[in-house]
Structure formats: C-alpha cells, structure tokens
Amino acid sequence: MDICGLQFNLTWENRAANFAAVAQLLSQATPALAPGSLLVLPELFASGFSMDVSRAADSAAAETEHFLAALAQQYRVTVLGGVARQLPCGRGANEALAFDPSGTLLCRYRKIHSFSPVGENHAYQAGSALAHFSWNGFRVAPLICYDLRFPEVFRASPADLFCVIASWPDRRQNHWSTLLQARAIENQAFVLGLNRCGSDPHASYAGGSLLLDPQGHILAAAGDSPVLLRTAISPDTATAWRAAFPALRDRRRDLFPSAPPA
C-alpha cells in the first residue's frame, strides 16, 4: 500500500493559501492518490512554523482539522498532518492529527520536545505522551520535527512505521538525513521524514523528505521542490527483518524497564 508525503512551500500564516496549495498539488498528482493510501502533510502545514499562536492556531471552528478530515474522505485515504490548536492556558499545542477515510479522528499527538532556540517552549505547551494508530497492518507513530533528535522517544514506541513531520531548516540539513537513517536502523522500522520546502521570514527549508526501510535503505527521496513522494511498503518487511536480525530482542530491559516488548 502507498505511503505518500506531500512536500510543499508553505505560505506564511495564510491558512487559505496553504489549503489551496495542498488541494492543487493533490489534484495534479499523476497517478492520482490510490484509495487506502496514507497521506502525510508537514508540521503546522496551514501556517508555517509560527510562534504567533493567535495566527497559527485554528479558531473554535477547527478549520485545519476539518480540512484534513475532508481530504481523507475525498480521496478515501488516511491523512496525517500538523495542526496548531489554542489551549485554554493561552499557549498553543503543536500537534499531529490522523483521520481515517471516513473522516474519523484516529490519533492526536502533541509534540513532546519544544524547540527552545526560537521560543517554541513559550508559545506552545509540550506534550507528554506518545500516540499511534493502525494503518494497513502498520503501527504508525507520528512525531514532530525536533523530536527526531531524541532517540529515546522512538525507542519507547511500539511502532514499525514512524512519520516525522517537520519544518527543518536547510542550515542543519545534514543532521536531518543522518538522524532519520539512524532512527530507522536502530528501531528496525520504516521512517518517513516529511519536511517542507521554500522559506519563511525566519528560515529557508531544503525539503529533502525521505522514506527509509527498516535497514536504513532509502526507498524514496525528495529534492528541494514541491513533490508528492510516494512508495508502496509492507509491514512484513519490518517483521521479517526483526526476525532475521533480532537486535530489539537483545535489549537490556532489566536496566531499561520502560522499553516496550519487541
């Protein structure tokens, strides 16, 4: 079954423009999205990585959530995308939401690691729990951008497919590709790193979205332009590799009891 990542150039703090860009890129995709696919959109795709929560976050009408749900229904796919939500405390929540083909919410994950160098820890309230959902035999765990630098959060998940949605700047692009490959190899899991491209008032983004198999091999790679990255994958690939090379079974749970079962 296809996993599809839509890498595109976000328009700064302009929800309508970003919705229109997503709709246009998907309508022009050749071949069209196959029903049953998993479609992934970048971190805070409706606004860009803005620290102005009043502009980035949905109103009470939850426009971005409804847009994602409608996409899932329109194309009969599962959709995962980044959403900003206003919390009662005044700060925002930087989240990844997944919807099934009926438009039903499957999963809500809040970014655990806030990027303090730009003040995300002040603008957005960090999450404290992992989340995952099922898709065509996969256990899928969404993670967000800066989470990629913290291997323990991957190790604590039972997932065999990690989707890291991001606004990862080009000045640290080599870190992006290296860390994605490491997370795939050490967890014996598929990893999709879905980045944006283009620029905003604070940074430039080189795209470079990647899909890696459980041995760290690159299955699909994007350049620095808008693209729908897609590849067919099977959960049997992860199962077979974990059986053939059972490194996860050799973890020292007596020393690290929080590790999930292999």
Task: List Cβ neighbours of 184 (8 Å cut-off, separation of 6 or more).
Answer: 162, 190, 191, 212, 213, 214, 215, 216
Q: Specify whether the CB–CB gap between 168 and 205 falls below 8 A.
A: yes
Among 10, 20, 61, 1, residue whose Cα is nearest residue 194: 10
d(C-alpha 259, C-alpha 2), whole Å: 30
Q: Which of 4, 107, 145, 197 is catalytic?
A: 145
- Scored b (16 or more CB within 10 A) or e, 91-117 reads bbbbbbbbbbbebeebbbbbbbbbbee
Residue whose entry in the numeric block shows the structure tokens 């998907």: 26
Q: Which of 43, 65, 95, 120 is catalytic?
A: 43
Is 43 in the active site? yes
Is 111 in the active site? yes
Is 145 in the active site? yes
d(C-alpha 102, C-alpha 146), whole Å: 31
Distance of CA 69 to the CA centre of its chain: 16
d(C-alpha 168, C-alpha 89), whole Å: 27
Write the CA distances from 175 to 9, 40, 146, 153, 194, integer angstroms. Answer: 21, 21, 11, 17, 14
d(C-alpha 262, C-alpha 260), whole Å: 6
Q: Which of 4, 13, 65, 111 is catalytic?
A: 111
List the catalytic residues.
43, 111, 145
